Amino acid sequence: MAIVFAFCCLCCSALNDFIFKLFADRPMSRGIFFSLIGVILAIVMAPFAVWHFSGTAFFWACAASMFSIVGNVLLIEAMGHLSAGICSTVYRLNLIFVVPGAMLFFGERLTSPQLWGVLAAVAAITLFSWSTLKSRRKASLFGMVLIVSASLLRAGMGLAYKQALICRMDEFALVCINGLFWVAGGIIYARLKDGKVKLPDLATIGFSAASGLFVVGITFFMAKMLRYGAAGVVLSIAQMSFLGTLLLSVLFLKEKLEKFKVAGIVCGVAAILLLSVK
């Protein structure tokens, strides 16, 4: 059943990354966008949450939520500088950090194929970095720094989620806490970036509603798959979502597939497949 939850998480992630790219290309408040998504998360999950948990479980839930909001802020900022295909692929290659983390914290073993998978992931990021270097644009290089940082935080979120669930945190409460962090984080982000917090327009509400539904799916299915499956396996499957985002970007945004990008995507697919081997 964990595999089914992982594939559901994959589909939600692919669609949500595409919405992020559409929103990132528009001059609207990203902070308010995140806050509204957080409101949807909290409202949908709160009625089902069980609010009985230990202080340790609450700590890891807060840690996961902090990693989540900051990582997604960096993701959407990176999408303002880079293509959706590159951002989604590098973001999902957070397995470079997940696999060693799963070994360190959960005692999961690193197999020989997984080692090759880490090397393939490094190769993918190198190829994407080379592609941005060829453009000689400082904005593109800054975008690579942002998306690699976002990937690291995404790995931390997955590992912290797993630890919270080990401490018997209810998955609905976990997602609800995540939503509350998005509400607060989005307001802070809007204040810092825009200089003020203002009421959203209809377009922002529409994007937030669509993204909010997919984020509900991502966080819920992630919690479910981590409860029933090994972190290294289910997180590996869920990260394949960048293929769906890439397809949507090529079809609807007419993004070009240069040879370095194609090579990077091939390495990314190989990395995730290898990292899934137990």
So what's the pLDDT on residue 54? 92
* Best mean pLDDT range from 67-71, 78-82, 101-105, 134-138: 67-71
So what's the pLDDT on residue 138? 59
pLDDT tens digits for range 148-165: 999 999 899 989 988 998
Alpha carbon distance 240, 238 (integer Å): 5
Contact assessment for residue 223 and residue 76, using Cβ atoms and an 8 Å cutoff: no
Q: Looking up tokens 């290309």, which residue turns up?
A: 25
Contact assessment for residue 95 and residue 236, using Cβ atoms and an 8 Å cutoff: yes
Alpha carbon distance 206, 228 (integer Å): 34
3-state SS of 162-200? Answer: HHHHHCCCCHHHHHHHHHHHHHHHHHHHHHHHHCCCCCC
Read off the tokens for 155: 């790995």
Read off the tokens for 195: 């200089």
Confidence category of residue 276, pLDDT binned at 50, 70, 90: low
So what's the pLDDT on residue 186? 95
Q: What is the CA 117 to chain-centroid distance, rounded?
A: 19
Section 3-21 average pLDDT: 88
So what's the pLDDT on residue 205? 94
**What contacts 4, CB < 8 A, 6 or more positions away?**
none
So what's the pLDDT on residue 150? 94
Alpha carbon distance 14, 6 (integer Å): 12
In the predicted model, what is the mean pLDDT of the chain?
Answer: 85
The DSSP element (H or E) to which 248 belongs, if any, is helix 241-252
So what's the pLDDT on residue 278? 65
Q: Is 224 helix (H, G, I), strand (E, B) or coil?
A: helix
Alpha carbon distance 87, 143 (integer Å): 9
Whether the predicted pLDDT of 133 surpasses 70: no
Section 201-217 average pLDDT: 91
Section 233-243 average pLDDT: 75
Alpha carbon distance 73, 220 (integer Å): 20
**pLDDT > 70 in the chain, percent:** 93
